[in-house]
Structure 1
Amino acid sequence: MASTLLPAARAANPENGKSLHDARCRSCHTSIMNGEPDRIYTRENRRIHSLAGLRDQVSRCEANTGIRLDAQQTEDVIDYLNRQFYKFGH
């Protein structure tokens, strides 16, 4: 019986997630939130209420803006946002 070995996914890297977020997401959020980009995460009527919701929103942002992140980069951004703003646990 043959087996295929897949490379193990590395743990999410929140520092890389922050760099990616700042380079690829922040300018849009600055525009949307009138110069206060972090407010999108901390506002009272925020849309994200779970880790699954955060994953869905990051996917929507990627699709709607044309930002291209690979699977690991996406996990890094999600981990950064969760640690910095949401704190849902894993």
Structure 2
Amino acid sequence: MSIPDLVEALGLASSTLNRQTAALLKNGLVERTVDPSGSIVHKFRITEEGIGRLRAERDERHPAWTRPSVPGRRSASTASSAIWSSSTPTSSG
């Protein structure tokens, strides 16, 4: 996602998101990627470290989210993984 994408999705000011993404980059939780469409806009993708930290934080704060509440129903953990799947890094880069 790009800063403009995040501004629209989260309803925050671009200056706020620039500060936050800088901190996430510094801590290795997200990485900059090249936009496949050739746009000059920077895109951000969550790193493996970011995924691990997100899951650990979620599991600590909301342990019920990691278990399906109804047999056969996807847990929130599975659903959130599906959301991030298009943004997660792959072994090829």
Question: After TM superposition, is the score higher than 0.5?
Answer: no
TM bin, normalised by shorter chain, reads 0.3 to 0.5
- In terms of fraction of residues, the more strand-rich structure is 2
Q: TM-score, normalised by structure 1?
A: 0.34
Q: TM-score, normalised by structure 2?
A: 0.33
